[in-house]
Structure 1
Amino acid sequence: MTELILVVEDEVRIARLLQIELECEGYRVSIAGSGHQGLEMYQEQQPDLLLLDVMLPGFSGIELLRRIRAGDPDTPVLLLTAKSSVEDKVSGLDLGANDYITKPFQIEELLARVRAALRLASGRRREEAVNLLMAEDLELNETTREVKRAGRSIELTPREFDLLVYLLKNKRQVLNREQIMAAVWGYDYYGDTNIVDVYIRYVRKKITLDHQPELIHTVRGVGYVLKDAP
């Protein structure tokens, strides 16, 4: 699907120019004329990129950026700033803006920066997808070490994380304690294999939220298997 760009700009002439040029490049475009409207449209539409004017009615573009970055570190945001507003540029970059464009701007430069920001975001998503392990609504990202179930974050210790990685990479395979011990604790670990049972309980409890179906199952006399709920 074509990328959606949200333009938050209160100057109607500039907003219309950006819409025409971006749509000519093949993007879908939405326009908001204030900080409040920009926040509402961002939440409703989940755009792929924001072009955000700093000087806005309601609340500023810097405040809108702050609110967006409080829960979304990834969506590219390009600031439109006045030529002399060094403070706005610094504040915006410190809050997580990906780039800034100084008014008055050349449309070719703006389009090039939009393309670059979208390429970078797409590359990050592909990299994360390669390192994403899943079972049902459980997601584990090896790159960011984030674990979520049904969108809710789960905190794991380093050992619990390594155990869950191993189980997910061997999904639907029954693994005995010795296999798990060797993979997660290492061949030179000489402790009791009951430690596997203890950590399985820890992980199972943490990833089973709100009475969701269990994903880690005990195979009596053999070991454990992680598989999707029937």
Structure 2
Amino acid sequence: MSRPPSTGGQRVLVIEDDDTIGRHLQAGLRANAYEAAWARTGGTGLALAQESCPDVILLDLGLPDIDGVEVARRLRSELPNALIVILTARSDEIDVVVGLDAGADDYLAKPFNLTVLLARLRAHLRRRPVSETETDAEPIHVGDLVVDLAARRCLLGDREIDLRPKEFELLVALASHPGVAVTREDLMARVWDENWFGSTKTLDVTMASLRKRLAHDVAPPRITTLRGHGYRLELPTKP
């Protein structure tokens, strides 16, 4: 029997109240060289997260004691660098958006295949280290928009825009080529992973959330959807 690929011993916390799903996830993760712990309630999950500082958290939205969205919000506050993937049986897109807004990095709709989950985790974990190129890069200026890669800050005029990690990376991908159409495939490769395995709906949800955050400004930068192709960050119009 071949050994599972090395994961560097990443710690994964599963917060899931369904016994079948919880046991399946814990066993599957351990078989693939992850250190996996399992909590059946939000309260227990929060306590374990504080104690073990996991690298990855798989979070069910439908928990018996605390709403999963609130758990995601508290986890993101306490563990800003953890990868949070929400697991949901809810079919409404608004539930996914709320979960991502609360601080999750991605989501998987139930039922899902363990192979898909493992591929998704590998893709995310490959993307997490910050490269020297980013830390040394000059800020990107597009009109009143300033994207500072080294500080991971976004400014519109004199106001700072609070962006989640994937929203920030998506904006960087667009702002790096203002006025140029960027394909969905290129965005998925840059923001998620060149070997991304699974639905690209995460891109649409993240883009909608990014637009919402930028829209609070009086004159927000405009991101145009190019049907069947991708997106374009528009250059500011000259007065």
Q: TM class by shorter-chain length? A: 0.5 to 0.7
Alignment of 1:75 with 2:82, yes or no, is yes
Q: Which has the larger radius of gyration?
A: 1
Q: 1:82-161 maps to which residues of 2 (within 5 A)?
A: 82-121=89-128, 123-124=129-130, 127=132, 143-144=150-151
Label 1:63 to 1:127 Cα distance change in 2 as closer, same or farther (>3 A). Answer: farther
Runs of 4 or more consecutive aligned structure 1 residues displaced over 4 Å after TM superposition: 126-131
Alignment of 1:29 with 2:36, yes or no, is yes
Label 1:76 to 1:66 Cα distance change in 2 as closer, same or farther (>3 A). Answer: same
Distance 2:23 2:56 in 1: 17
Say what the alpha-carbon RMSD is for the aligned residues.
Answer: 2.3
Aligned counterpart, 1:7: 14
Distance 2:15 2:152 in 1: 33
Label 1:54 to 1:145 Cα distance change in 2 as closer, same or farther (>3 A). Answer: closer
Q: Which moved more, 1:69-78 or 1:100-109?
A: 69-78
TM-score (normalizing by structure 2): 0.51
1:62 deviates by 0.8
Aligned counterpart, 2:63: 56
Distance 2:54 2:133 in 1: 19
Aligned counterpart, 1:205: none
Q: Which amino acid aligns with 1:109?
A: V
Q: Which amino acid aligns with 1:43?
A: Q
1:96 deviates by 2.1
* Deviation digits for residues 54-87 of structure 1 (CA, Å, limit 9, x no counterpart): 0002102111111122243321100001151322
Alignment of 1:18 with 2:46, yes or no, is no
Q: Which moved more, 1:50-59 or 1:62-71?
A: 62-71
* Deviation digits for residues 27-59 of structure 1 (CA, Å, limit 9, x no counterpart): 010000101001000000000100000000210
Label 1:128 to 1:78 Cα distance change in 2 as closer, same or farther (>3 A). Answer: farther
Q: Which amino acid aligns with 1:97?
A: A
Distance 2:67 2:132 in 1: 33
The residue matched to 2:86 in structure 1 has which SS?
Answer: strand
Aligned counterpart, 1:172: none
Is the 1:54–1:81 contact (alpha carbons within 8 Å) kept by the matching residues of 2?
yes
1:143 deviates by 2.4
Aligned counterpart in structure 2 of residue 38 of structure 1, from 45, 52, 55: 45
Label 1:40 to 1:129 Cα distance change in 2 as closer, same or farther (>3 A). Answer: farther
Distance 2:20 2:82 in 1: 26
Q: Which amino acid aligns with 1:66?
A: R
Q: Which moved more, 1:108-117 or 1:40-49?
A: 108-117
Label 1:44 to 1:127 Cα distance change in 2 as closer, same or farther (>3 A). Answer: farther
1:6 deviates by 0.2
Distance 1:128 1:81 in 2: 36
Is the 2:61–2:86 contact (alpha carbons within 8 Å) kept by the matching residues of 1?
yes
Q: Which amino acid aligns with 2:94?
A: E
Q: Which amino acid aligns with 1:12?
A: D
1:18 deviates by 0.4
Identity within the alignment, %: 41
Is the 1:83–1:104 contact (alpha carbons within 8 Å) kept by the matching residues of 2?
no
Alignment of 1:66 with 2:73, yes or no, is yes
TM-score (normalizing by structure 1): 0.53
